[in-house]
Chain A
Amino acid sequence: MAVSTRSEAVYPVTWKSGRVARWLVTVDHKRIGIMYIATSLFFFVLGGILAVLMRSQLATPNETLLTKNSYNEVLTMHGTTMIFLVVVPILAGFGNFLVPLMIGARDMAFPRLNALSYWLYLLGGIVLWGSWFATGGTAKAGWWSYPTLSEMQFSPGHGQDYWILSIHILTLASLAGAINFVVTIVNMRARGMSWMRMPLFVWSMLAYGVMLLVALPALSAAVTLLLLDRQAGTHFFIPSQGGSIVLYQHMFWFFGHPEVYIMVLPVMGMISEILPVFSRKPIFGYKAVAFSTVGIAFFSMLVWAHHMFTTGLGVGLDSFFMISSMVIAVPTGIKIFNWIATAWRGNLIFDTPMLFAIGFIALFTMGGLSGIFLAAFPVDWQVNDSYYVVAHFHYVLFGGSAFGFFGGLYYWWPKMFGRMLDERLGKWFFWLLFVGFNMTFLPQHMLGLLGMPRRIYTYHHGGLWEVYNMISTIGSGVMVIAVGVFVASIWIAHGLRRGVRAGNDPWLADTLEWYTTSPPPEHNFDSIPYVTSARPLRDLRRRLAEQA
């Protein structure tokens, strides 16, 4: 028999398939998603170090670890990093990895645009963190950068300009991503996947995309005007020359409040995926949960001035924004009650993703309820800009968003990498984070009511101020240990290759991403099943069981 020899390989190996190069040149939504998540976690650690620095500075009265100058840099960078470089992009990462898999598509609608958004995001992060080396250090005016403090006269140096530049880049990244999500979800769903059969996480990513498209231009406009004021001699926000600071506040918060829901809704979507799987039940009230997502997204555009109750808008506007802010509590409550009802008469399995999902409900409820106090504007006049607010938004954005995305990481980790993370370490991670979180942020409600304003670099009061601040700082230390455990569990699973190989569907889940292999092949699916309900995989399992 003749042996045929080939002069060239069937599958040519180009430089693009190199170990590093295949990540640099990829337009695969899964790789881009993983790069998003990895970069966000890296910035999460950086932002966390800043948080621990601040907590150490505030542990005792008259502490001198950080100077007043560097404290203002650190608080500005912590806020900006956690919002723009951690929570928003990590959700884009989950969305990238999951949306095409969940809707049974081969990739996002615009793969190249998708890669561009990731690289722009990374560039924005580098510009922001590079500003530590700018003349005069980083921006120091807080993540809102209210003028006139952020104007050239009061913030000389280039830190504030780099901040503006990085916000511009990150805004472009998010806008490109948002368009991609909306187009993908609207157009590329598998056969049979009607709107009411769409996974709830996909609903929330659709809301995420639409909200970004509506809210981000206001931010871009605001920081553009600020840049012109600083560099081109305009005076949009300089009152002595006819500008208006209140205008900046409106523009900023018109973006800033939807931003909160941009950071929370996709996480709520993850909870709506995790809870049913680990309760062995369908989600309670699918339609109510889906429509409440749409409701929250809509009303989130109408509540921005509740961040401005102490600006002196007048009772008329204050009343409108109080009512609209309270309205948004209703769809949020609907979600929480539906989640709890999902656990009712279930077969609850407390694997790590489930612990984080339950932790999310417990903590987000707290953050939601403290929000009612802030919506009632006369009470807000008392607690606004105090540590009460710091506690409130950390219950929403850490107890909520971060607990949610850690749950999501544990849940989808086997799908992303093909190995399970260690369950025992996962439980340690959850409990340390849960205890540390409450120790850190619960006492901050009390500090605010005692009269401690946010963003002060030191205080001289002893007594309760000192006690609560000390408890809070110790709590932040516990969270550092927790994150250490998380990093260790990744090392053990992958560095040491001790992670158990995950099959296609280790959790016996409901949605299409579990239909393919872990990790999925580049084309995602060999065949895409016809979707007959909101739980296509469960349908498949039952059909297989009937045939057997």
Chain B
Amino acid sequence: MLLTFVTIAVLTTAGVAVAANGGFTPPAPHSPNAARTNDAYYVILGFTGAIFLLVESLLVTFVWKYRRRGRPRTVDGAQVHGNTRLELIWTVIPVIILCVIGLVVFYELPGISNAPAATNPIRITVEGHQFYWQFDYPNGARSINDLYAPVDQVVDLTVESADVIHSWWIPELGGKIQAIPGHTNHIWFKANQVGTYVGQCAELCGLYHASMEARVIVGSSAQYTSFISKAAVTDLGRAEFQGACATCHGMQGQGGYGPNLSSNPLLTQPAALTAIVRDGRNLMPAVGDTWTAAQMQALAKYVKAHIYKGASTSG
């Protein structure tokens, strides 16, 4: 038993030495729902921590105090069969503690599951794909893997999936919610600080589950407006290639899990490119099955200009 404590103590010290919270609590919250989740976490940590210490120290104490001390096996301990009052105590007290935890959860719940009222939320649709995230903004703009959002405003996310189950999770901005095909979910955040918040898909979604990362880039209201009206359009081709294609084909189209693209003349034929991106082929999933014509044009333009290096015969 001593060793549990030694192990815990060593790890605790090491952890605390390396970083402020060291993974002992959820990360510092940057959205009210994440903050209230952390509040609930601390309350539960308080109660469970106390119970943990009580149980383990009783165990260690008894193990030490009532050890054999060389007595023969035939020596009996006290032949106590039970005690009704004790049974009642360790039934009722946990019930009370659990009620308190339950009440705390219900007290924190509205601030976690419901977005603050009387605001005009920005509604963005998050669509999970094998293996990228696609974001649709109210003005029709679209981005891949990077979600742009204004600071201090409620952002309501509609979470969907085009293929398999994914799970949306940006730890600093709240909990996670599954992106399920045929099922619409909602989650919200209100980032309190300009910055970039990272997260990744939390539900096994296939080969590149580990690569399915998302960034939430929070800027001022003006930066957000400028992004969705300009950058999202001019930069879309690059974002699509790097978010959806590069996972398998490499950032320069040099190949990886998928074949080398840089000398594939298909890249210069928009119709054929659209067909393969929309429908997939062999191992390649239908990555662009929900892409618009404008998106396909953006992709074709980008790959022709930046990825295609000419039909190589020399290699």
Residues of A within 8 A of B (CB): 68-69, 72, 75, 140-142, 146, 148-149, 154, 239-240, 243-246, 279-282, 284-288, 310-312, 315, 319, 322-323, 326-327, 329-330, 333-334, 336-338, 340-341, 343-350, 358, 361-362, 365-366, 369-370, 372-373, 376-386, 431, 434-435, 438-439, 442-443, 445-451, 453-459, 463-464, 467-468, 471, 507-508
Contact assessment for B23 and A378 in the assembled complex, using a CB-CB cutoff below 8 Å: no
Q: Tell me the B4-31 residues at the A interface (CB within 8 Å).
A: 4, 7-8, 11, 14-15, 18-19, 21-27
Q: Provide the B155-166 mask, 1 if CB < 8 A to any CB of A, else 0.
A: 000000001110
- Min CB gap B52→A, angstroms: 6
Interface residues on B, range: 35 or more
Q: Tell me the B55-103 residues at the A interface (CB within 8 Å).
A: 55-56, 58-59, 62-63, 66-68, 71, 73-83, 86-87, 90-91, 94-95, 98, 101-102
Contact assessment for B163 and A148 in the assembled complex, using a CB-CB cutoff below 8 Å: yes
Contact partner of B11 (CB less than 8 A), chosen from A285, A333, A443, A454, is A443
- Min CB gap B179→A, angstroms: 10
Q: Which residues of chain A are within 8 angstroms of B205 by Cβ–Cβ distance?
A: 149
Contact assessment for B102 and A459 in the assembled complex, using a CB-CB cutoff below 8 Å: no
Tell me, yes or no, whether B145 is within 8 Å of chain A by CB: no
Tell me, yes or no, whether B203 is within 8 Å of chain A by CB: yes
**In the docked arrangement, what's the CA distance between A334 and B52, Å?**
14
Tell me, yes or no, whether B301 is within 8 Å of chain A by CB: no
Tell me, yes or no, whether B206 is within 8 Å of chain A by CB: yes
Contact assessment for B204 and A455 in the assembled complex, using a CB-CB cutoff below 8 Å: yes
Q: Which residues of chain B are within 8 angstroms of A336 by Cβ–Cβ distance?
A: 55
**In the docked arrangement, what's the CA distance between A333 and B95, Å?**
10
Tell me, yes or no, whether B246 is within 8 Å of chain A by CB: no
Contact assessment for A72 and B204 in the assembled complex, using a CB-CB cutoff below 8 Å: yes
Q: Which residues of chain A are within 8 angstroms of B221 by Cβ–Cβ distance?
A: none
- Min CB gap B79→A, angstroms: 6
Contact assessment for A362 and B59 in the assembled complex, using a CB-CB cutoff below 8 Å: yes
- Min CB gap B171→A, angstroms: 5
**In the docked arrangement, what's the CA distance between A390 and B83, Å?**
37
Q: Provide the B177-217 mask, 1 if CB < 8 A to any CB of A, else 0.
A: 11011110110000000000011111111111110000000
* Given A68-B207, A326-B102, A458-B210, CB of A381 within 8 Å of CB of B174: yes
Contact assessment for A279 and B164 in the assembled complex, using a CB-CB cutoff below 8 Å: no
A-binding segment of B40-48, B232-240, B292-300: B40-48
Q: Which residues of chain A are within 8 angstroms of B101 by Cβ–Cβ distance?
A: 326, 372, 376
- Min CB gap A164→B, angstroms: 17
**In the docked arrangement, what's the CA distance between A463 and B22, Å?**
10
**In the docked arrangement, what's the CA distance between A372 and B174, Å?**
19
Contact assessment for B94 and A329 in the assembled complex, using a CB-CB cutoff below 8 Å: yes
Q: Which residues of chain A are within 8 angstroms of B118 by Cβ–Cβ distance?
A: none
Contact partner of B68 (CB less than 8 A), chosen from A146, A348, A445, A447, is A348
Tell me, yes or no, whether B143 is within 8 Å of chain A by CB: no
Contact assessment for A344 and B80 in the assembled complex, using a CB-CB cutoff below 8 Å: yes
Q: Which residues of chain B are within 8 angstroms of A464 by Cβ–Cβ distance?
A: 15, 18-19, 22-23
Contact assessment for B206 and A149 in the assembled complex, using a CB-CB cutoff below 8 Å: yes
- Min CB gap A504→B, angstroms: 15
Contact assessment for A347 and B23 in the assembled complex, using a CB-CB cutoff below 8 Å: no
**In the docked arrangement, what's the CA distance between A149 and B88, Å?**
48
Tell me, yes or no, whether B242 is within 8 Å of chain A by CB: no
Give the residue among B56, B58, B90, B102 with the most A Cβ atoms within 10 A. B90
**In the docked arrangement, what's the CA distance between A442 and B48, Å?**
16
Contact assessment for B44 and A450 in the assembled complex, using a CB-CB cutoff below 8 Å: no
Tell me, yes or no, whether B249 is within 8 Å of chain A by CB: no
Contact assessment for A438 and B7 in the assembled complex, using a CB-CB cutoff below 8 Å: yes
**In the docked arrangement, what's the CA distance between A341 and B34, Å?**
40
Q: Which residues of chain A are within 8 angstroms of B48 by Cβ–Cβ distance?
A: 369-370, 372-373
Give the residue among B15, B68, B75, B77 with the most A Cβ atoms within 10 A. B77
Residues of B within 8 A of A (CB): 1, 3-4, 7-8, 11, 14-15, 18-19, 21-27, 34, 36-37, 40-41, 44-45, 47-48, 51-52, 55-56, 58-59, 62-63, 66-68, 71, 73-83, 86-87, 90-91, 94-95, 98, 101-102, 105-106, 108-109, 112-113, 130, 163-165, 167, 169, 171, 174-178, 180-183, 185-186, 198-210, 257, 285
Contact assessment for A455 and B66 in the assembled complex, using a CB-CB cutoff below 8 Å: no
Please report whether the interface of chain A is mostly helix, strand, loop or mixed according to DSSP. Answer: helix
- Min CB gap A249→B, angstroms: 9
Contact assessment for A149 and B204 in the assembled complex, using a CB-CB cutoff below 8 Å: yes
Contact assessment for A326 and B98 in the assembled complex, using a CB-CB cutoff below 8 Å: yes
Contact assessment for B82 and A379 in the assembled complex, using a CB-CB cutoff below 8 Å: no
Contact assessment for A319 and B106 in the assembled complex, using a CB-CB cutoff below 8 Å: yes
**In the docked arrangement, what's the CA distance between A280 and B167, Å?**
52
Contact assessment for A337 and B81 in the assembled complex, using a CB-CB cutoff below 8 Å: no
Contact assessment for B73 and A508 in the assembled complex, using a CB-CB cutoff below 8 Å: yes
**In the docked arrangement, what's the CA distance between A464 and B198, Å?**
16
* Given A72-B204, A347-B77, A383-B26, CB of A287 within 8 Å of CB of B182: no
Give the residue among B68, B79, B165, B185 with the most A Cβ atoms within 10 A. B165
Contact assessment for A330 and B91 in the assembled complex, using a CB-CB cutoff below 8 Å: yes
* Given A340-B62, A456-B200, CB of A281 within 8 Å of CB of B164: no
Contact assessment for B11 and A442 in the assembled complex, using a CB-CB cutoff below 8 Å: yes
Q: Which residues of chain A are within 8 angstroms of B183 by Cβ–Cβ distance?
A: 239, 244-246, 312
**In the docked arrangement, what's the CA distance between A72 and B130, Å?**
15
**In the docked arrangement, what's the CA distance between A451 and B185, Å?**
21
Closest to B45 in A: A373
Contact assessment for B176 and A381 in the assembled complex, using a CB-CB cutoff below 8 Å: yes
- Min CB gap A325→B, angstroms: 10
Q: Which residues of chain A are within 8 angstroms of B202 by Cβ–Cβ distance?
A: 310, 384-386, 453-454
Contact assessment for B82 and A280 in the assembled complex, using a CB-CB cutoff below 8 Å: no
